[in-house]
Amino acid sequence: MDKPVLYIVIPCYNEQEVLPVTKPMFLNKLNHLIARRKVSEQSRILFVNDGSRDSTWNLIQEFANQEEKIEGISLSRNRGHQNALLAGLMEAKDLCDITISIDCDGQDDLNAMDEMVEAYHKGADIVYGVRSKRDTDTFFKRTTAEGFYKLMNKLGGEVVYNHADYRLVSAKVLEEFSNFNEVNLFLRGMFPLVGFNSTSVYYERHERLKGESHYPLKKMLALAFDGITSLSIKPIRIVTGIGIAFSIISFLLIVYALISLIHGTVVSGWTSSIIVTCLLGGIQLISLGVIGEYVGKTYLETKHRPRYIISNRTYKE
């Protein structure tokens, strides 16, 4: 197999503190892969500026001016991590043979790239970077994250356990993936849908090298909910099942009430009435919320708005 052209795609949002630290690391790893003749000399690093409000784009432009192996694109506004990553992958699709997507904070082990490229040479078109353990996470984050992956699989979403967005993808897969036109993106659950040969490599995740995480609990929960509702309709079926179950219970209570009325043993109870009313009201509101989430996603999909707009590039098209 010829040496493949590799593009390392790195989405960035307000990362002016960490980029000067991690950029040399990414560049050293790329040069290492080139020196070992695992990838082509035409391989590049592609930074994607996701509408940052700080000096992130200025830094990317400086990097590109100083080093021919670094390129960059800038989105017209902040579109979120998943859209920024997609923009980078689609930009690289026609320029390379393989891409490796990775966050810019230095937490993912760069040495796993060697194994990913090796797996590609052995025939894999998708190689998932999977965390071997989550010791650097807090107990709450570790528990909720692992619970999310288990829940996703039970709901029918084909998600690789403990895999985020550190992965190698071949251009052949990206070409087919470009036919996925949905606006609501959850890439870690969408790539398994494409098929092709896939495997996993395992690595330990480190602490963030500098700066602060841009994925607080609120964003993580939103991403998780987006993932569930984007990949599975089982929540709707669960709501339907709950509705059927309570309909049966209600019918039995009606029968019980009628029998009690006939025998003159009607028992009045304000507390029980309030409990039942509140319970049913809560279930109805939750059900409407779940249904509304799907209706909202359908509404967004029908608009066919672009998922991102590239406003700037550091290199000639």
For residue 279, give both structure tokens.
């319970």
Q: Are 210 and 139 in contact (CB under 8 A)?
A: no
For residue 40, give both structure tokens.
């082509």
For residue 250, give both structure tokens.
């209600």
As a whole number of angstroms, the distance between CA 20 and CA 28 comes to: 13
Among 6, 11, 17, 25, which residue's Cα sits nearest to residue 72?
Answer: 11
SS3 (DSSP) at 296: helix
Our CA dihedral for 26, 31, 33, 39, rounded to 10 degrees, sits at 110
As a whole number of angstroms, the distance between CA 79 and CA 221 comes to: 17
For the beta carbon of residue 73, count every other beta carbon within 10 angstroms. 23
For the beta carbon of residue 227, count every other beta carbon within 10 angstroms. 25
Give me the pLDDT at residue 170, please: 92
What are the residue boundaries of the structural domains of the chain, listed by start?
6-231+306-313, 234-303
The CATH topology of domain 6-231+306-313 is Spore Coat Polysaccharide Biosynthesis Protein SpsA; Chain A (3.90.550)
Q: Are 232 and 157 in contact (CB under 8 A)?
A: yes
Give me the pLDDT at residue 70, please: 92
As a whole number of angstroms, the distance between CA 292 and CA 30 comes to: 46
SS3 (DSSP) at 167: strand
As a whole number of angstroms, the distance between CA 53 and CA 199 comes to: 37
From first to last of its 317 residues, the chain has per-residue pLDDT tens of: 578 999 999 999 998 888 999 999 999 999 999 999 998 999 999 999 998 899 999 999 999 998 989 999 999 888 888 889 999 999 898 889 999 999 888 888 899 999 999 999 999 999 998 887 756 566 666 666 666 666 666 666 667 767 778 899 999 999 988 888 877 777 777 888 788 888 988 888 777 655 565 555 566 666 666 666 666 666 766 777 777 676 666 666 666 666 666 666 555 655 566 556 666 766 776 777 677 767 766 766 666 777 778 888 886 44
Give me the pLDDT at residue 223, please: 62
pTM of the predicted protein model: 0.71
